[in-house]
Every structure is written in C-alpha cells, then in structure tokens.
Amino acid sequence: MSSIVVPLVKGLVTEQTMLPRAFALAAVIGAVQPPRLDGNWVVRQPMGDGTSRDSYFTLAQRGDSITGTIRTTQFYYRTVTGAWSADSFAITAVMRDGTSERRATYAGRLVGDTLHLYTRRRPQDPPTELKAVRAAPDEGAYPSRVAPPARHAVRDNGLARTPPMGWNSWNKFAGRVDDAAVRAMADAMAADGMRDAGYVYVNIDDTWEGPRDAQGNITTNRKFPDMKALADYVHAKGLKLGIYSSPGPNTCAGYEGSYRHEAQDARTYAAWGIDYLKYDWCGARNLYTDDEMPAVYQKMGDALLATGRPIVYSLCQYGRLDVWRWGADVGGNLWRTTGDIRDAWDSMTRIGFAQDSLAPFAKPGHWNDPDMLEIGNGGMTADEYRTHLSLWSMLAAPLLAGNDLRSMTPDVRDILLNREVIAIDQDRAGKQGTHAWQQGEQEIWTRELADGARAVALFNRGDAPATMTARWAALGLTSGVRHVRDLWTHQDLAAAPEVSLSVPAHGVALLRVSR
C-alpha cells in the first residue's frame, strides 16, 4: 500500500505519521491545504541577446515539507529542504563544492499557477523577485556525467613563448560585450600603438554563446551575428581573436559550455579563426571533483591540438589543485593562479604580492596568470596602476588589458604603453621574478633577464611616500653594476653601489640594472 508522510495538524502537531494515501489527502485537505509544488518549475530571465538564463526548481511536496533540486546557472543544489507556513513557504538549497558549501535561500508564494520566489544575492542586498512557471518534467535536467579520460602528456603547442598580451572584455564590459565593442577595441589597438607594443590578442570573455543547433554545433547569440566575419576583421588589423568557454554544461554567467562537445567546439573555433581559448571551470564543478581537473582540461588540450590551428590555451580554475604543477602537461599555455581580480588596490595587491612561491613554474610557453589588468578602469590611482603593471611584469604575467581602449586618459595610455616595462614582462628567458627584501610595507623584488641584467622593483605598499634604498650587493648583484635605468622616468641613474629613491605611496620604482 502506498503511503505518504503528512503532518497531521499544521502548527499544532509536529510529529509526522505514516498514513494510507486516501487518508493522507483527506488530512491535507482537512488541515491546511498547502498548494502543490510538485514538479519542475522554470524561471526564465531574458538576457537581451536572444538567450535566457533559466533556473529550474524541481520540487516534491509532502504535506508541509518540501524537497528537491535547484539548478541555477552553474550552480546545482542537490539538497533542498523547505516548509510551508501559513500561505508562504521557505526553502534552503545546499551545494557542496570541494570542501566548501554554498547555500541559497528562497521565500515563496504560489499565486495561481506561478511561483513567486524571493531571494537575496548577499544578506545585505534587497530581495529579488523571480517568477517560476511550470516546465516539462525533463526540461533543464542536469546532464549525466562522462568519465574523464585517462591522463597522458599533451604535446606542447609551441605558442606563448613570452606571456600573452592583449585585451579581454570581462573587466570592463562583462555581459555587455558585443561585436561592435570588439571591433572598436581592435580599431583602437591598431591605431593607438597597443598592437605595436605587443598587445595582439582581442579576447571575448563570457556571454557570446548562443544555443546549440540540431547537430550540436555551438552558435553565437544576437550580440555576435557572425563570429567568422569578426575574426576576419580582427585579423585584417594584424590582431588575433580569443574566445571563452567552460568544460561544464554552463559558463559562469550561465551560458552554454562545452561539456560533451569539446572536440566539436574546438573545430568550430578553428573554423571561425579563433586564436586563443580561455576555459573556465564553473559549471564543471557539479560533475567533477577537483582531482579530476587535469583530465578534464586535458580533453580540451587534445581537442585544440587536433584542430591543427594554433590556439593558445588558457586554463581558468582559480588556482585550485596547484594547477601550476600540471597546467603545462594538459596543454595549458597559462593558468589562473587566483580568484577574480577587482579594480581595487587591496584586490590587486593581495593577488600580485602572493605569487612569489609560484616562480619556479613559469617558463616560455607556460605562465602563471594572476588575472587580467584593471589599469584604466578607475578604481585605482595612476601610482597604483604603475604598481599593477610593474608587478605583473616582474611576475612574467600575461598582460591582458581590461579597460575601454577608446577612452584612455594620457596617464593610462602612458602606463599601458610603457615599452621599457613591457620589455621586462616579455623578457625571452621567461624567468618569473621573486621577492628579495622587505621592511614593513616596503619590498623589493628582482627578476633575472635573458642578457644577464636584472629588473629590480622597489614597491612601497605604505600609505605615505618612502625613501627606499636598493643595495646591489645585498640583492645578489655583486660584480660591476655598470648601468641603472629607471623604467618609469626613462632616465639613467648613477651606477653607485646602491641607489636611494623616493617612492610614492602605493607606488613603485622599476629599475633595469645591467652589469
């Protein structure tokens, strides 16, 4: 005999009793008559580009208690618990991601045949209202898991012998990037000296994706009417075009990922004329453990090589599982070492000054990536942006500008186009610089260059200007310092045994010291 669990009288009797179905229904009707939530519900949020971000609430109600799953963008909450109280209900969803746990809570009411759901992104935010309507039972079901491949070493693609340089859409445009913006950036890069200074990749980040066609081919959304034509345009300017995807079913912004279509997508990118892929873990977290990351990334590494087109491969999984130890083996040319940067001094310095121990893992073709540049986005001072570019150059980091290149102030232009600093970043020996000295908030980093010279960066992280002294002998430059050049003032300094400079608050002096 089938039976369901119902609380007998809501609010008064808390214990649950097993009853035959007929009795149970009678009890529900006779008691509080909570409306039925059973089934699959969808919240469709149109993105304005022809796609929608769909969140699925697959719920089961027994009496006052609610269970189920919620799939929203890249997040898949397998555990949902909830309950009715009076005419509304509350549900809590839990997702485990590695060792961390993410929770989402919703309050809701059923009005007619529409679920009205209220949720907050952060506790301090005002509630957002979502409206869910009934969906077919299987719609939006989470895809089944494909076992990751056996590991093998992916052949080096021979690209990125120096850290990649270019521009990426995310920091400035996020979901607003479109074909016109990318063309405008390409125009600016060709016209204003960026390309000639080495910034050649024009990289489209998340939100270009459309649905898959009947053959499973990825398409673009309305913001990108013709990706091949866009690539042709960018190539005609002497630039290269980059794109973005995820090994999961969804990207971070909830767009279509490459899951189960890796080789097909790689062929599509090659056919379009794509030169660079950023591959962002995001939705893959619901299918694979961190330990499986190398195998999952290897799959796309193989797929890109198989196309025969040179495509730089950028791993983005926020530095988990010590990616610097295996990123090169899976075909990666660069790998993010941290979470997302923000256009703020604390974010930039927290990331940049924490990269010291990763130096041994950088080498031509394979780079640590402390995330893209924020220079020119307005959240830092010119001195702070000089620190940003100097530090990234000491780290042999990829230099991907993230600002609007059409409206650069002269200060920002001078920073991004400082060729003497860029030359440190692009030094062909590819040796990442390291922390050499520190006193309080002042630190000196050094980097060995291919011609035997050293880059020496005097960073003042303090809030007041400071006089900093670099003593060559103490920094391991023992014999015959012949030439010292200041790469921000573009002046030669006297080649004494030490140099003292006034360094602005949050600023830097970057020197090239040759023997």
Active site positions, annotated: 280, 340
Of 152-191, which residues contact ligand GLA (CB under 6 A)?
A: 170
Residue 280 touches ligand GLA, criterion: CB under 6 A: yes
Give kind and range of the element (H or E) at residue 268.
Answer: helix 262-272
Cα separations (Å) of 382 from 136, 444, 468, 505?
55, 20, 20, 11
Residue 252 touches ligand GLA, criterion: CB under 6 A: yes
Min dist. Cβ of residue 280 to ligand GLA (A): 5
Determine how many CB atoms are found less than 10 A away from the CB of residue 421: 25
Among 202, 253, 351, 395, binds ligand GLA (CB under 6 A): 253
Q: Is 280 or 384 the residue whose CB approaches ligand GLA more closely?
A: 280
Instruction: Report the C-alpha dihedral over residues 28, 34, 39, 42, rounded to 10 degrees.
Output: 180
d(CA 85, CA 66): 12
Q: Pick the piece of the chain touching ligand GLA (CB under 6 A) from 89-97, 98-106, 251-259, 402-410.
A: 251-259
Note whether 23 and 73 are within 8 A (CB). Answer: no
- Map tokens 């960073």 to a residue: 459
Min dist. Cβ of residue 173 to ligand GLA (A): 11
Q: Is 372 or 449 the residue whose CB approaches ligand GLA more closely?
A: 372
Read off the tokens for 208: 């270009």
Among 179, 206, 275, 369, binds ligand GLA (CB under 6 A): 206
Q: Pick the piece of the chain touching ligand GLA (CB under 6 A) from 248-256, 411-419, 447-455, 472-480.
A: 248-256
- Map tokens 């200074």 to a residue: 197
CA 459 to chain centre: 27
- Map tokens 């200060």 to a residue: 411
Among 303, 316, 457, 487, binds ligand GLA (CB under 6 A): 316
Q: Is 106 or 170 the residue whose CB approaches ligand GLA more closely?
A: 170
d(CA 374, CA 382): 11
Residue 342 touches ligand GLA, criterion: CB under 6 A: no
Residue 205 touches ligand GLA, criterion: CB under 6 A: yes
d(CA 302, CA 263): 8
Min dist. Cβ of residue 283 to ligand GLA (A): 11
Q: Is 340 or 411 the residue whose CB approaches ligand GLA more closely?
A: 340
Q: 237: closest CA among 420, 405, 421?
A: 405
Cα within 13 Å of Cα(274), Cβ side: 26
Q: Is 82 or 332 the residue whose CB approaches ligand GLA more closely?
A: 332
Q: Pick the piece of the chain touching ligand GLA (CB under 6 A) from 181-189, 208-216, 249-257, 351-359.
A: 249-257
Residues lying near ligand GLA in the complex (CB under 6 A) are found at 170, 205-206, 251-253, 280, 316, 340
